[in-house]
Amino acid sequence: MPDSEFAGRFLGVLGGMGPMASAVFMVRLTALTDAASDQHHVPAMLWSDPRIPDRPAGHAGTGADPFPWMLNGVRHIERAGAGVIAIPCNTAHLWYDKLAASTSLPVLHIVRSVVADLRRHGIMGGRIGLLGTVPTLNSGLYQHELEAQGYQCVLLPQSDLLRYCAEAIRLVKVNQVDAAQEPAVHSVQLLRQQGVDAVVLGCTELPLAVPAQIRPSMGVAVIDSIDALALAALDWYRDA
């Protein structure tokens, strides 16, 4: 049987950052697909490597460099024959330019996916509250892209960010998703009180701590970076 029988475009997912976020990305990719049977879903390969060193520590220079490990994952995805790479980790996008330059495959950008999702929600401008890890927010990763698209960015004071948002991320990473809900929801509420038009869950652990079913009652649009990236991947697959 010729290999070509199995040819066809498939999605490569550089995951494990953390492993729950990339597993939930696969769940959301499936749930967001309009499918009448298994065979209508998107073929994908997930490289889930939780050994990739901690991104915030690596960025701060206080821990091992995660980049060589990410590149190892990219090489696995390339060798398997994927047509595009999605990275369900916002902080990993601090290495986006370096990763994108290291491969001939297109790499979806999670922040650009979030901008597309804001527009899908009809939010074409205004004040956007940002939640995420400290290095993601301090780097300006979101601010640069959102401001270029005409949005204004609103951040929590660093003390609140550490106390509520970083704490929620930490709890998800140690499998305490239920305990993560209170600090995560409080982070969203603090931004809502500043009159923002939407809050971006700009760390892929946060959507787990703010489950979809409670979002409609939060009084502000909540943009989920996992869903945004999954929708970008589905767009890629449909356009292929």
Of the candidates 44, 125, 121, 146, the residue with the CA atom closest to the CA atom of residue 88 = 44
DSSP letter assigned to residue 58: H
Of the candidates 39, 98, 42, the residue with the CA atom closest to the CA atom of residue 66 = 98
**C-beta of 82 vs 153, nearer to a second copy:** 82
Q: What is the CA radius of gyration of the chain?
A: 17
Q: Does the footprint of a second copy cover residue 211 (CB under 8 A)?
A: no
Q: In what order do the strands lie in the sheet with 198-201?
A: 151-154, 126-131, 198-201, 221-224
Cα separation, 143 vs 9, in Å, equals 33
Q: Look up residue 63 and give its amino acid.
A: G
In the complex, least distance from residue 234 CB atom to a second copy, rounded to whole angstroms? 12
Q: Does the footprint of a second copy cover residue 43 (CB under 8 A)?
A: yes
**C-beta of 29 vs 184, nearer to a second copy:** 29
Q: Does the footprint of a second copy cover residue 48 (CB under 8 A)?
A: yes
In the complex, least distance from residue 239 CB atom to a second copy, rounded to whole angstroms? 18
Using the contact rule CB under 8 A, the part of the chain among 4-12, 111-119, 126-134, 138-146 near a second copy is 4-12
First and final C-alpha spacing in the chain = 25
Overall residue count recorded for the chain in this entry = 240
Q: Which of 93, 94, 104, 173 binds a second copy (CB under 8 A)?
A: 173
User: Which of the residues 72 through 111 are near a second copy (CB under 8 A)?
Assistant: 72, 76, 79-80
Binding site for a second copy (CB under 8 A): 1, 3, 5-6, 8, 10, 16-20, 22-24, 26-27, 29-31, 33, 35-54, 68-69, 72, 76, 79-80, 173-175
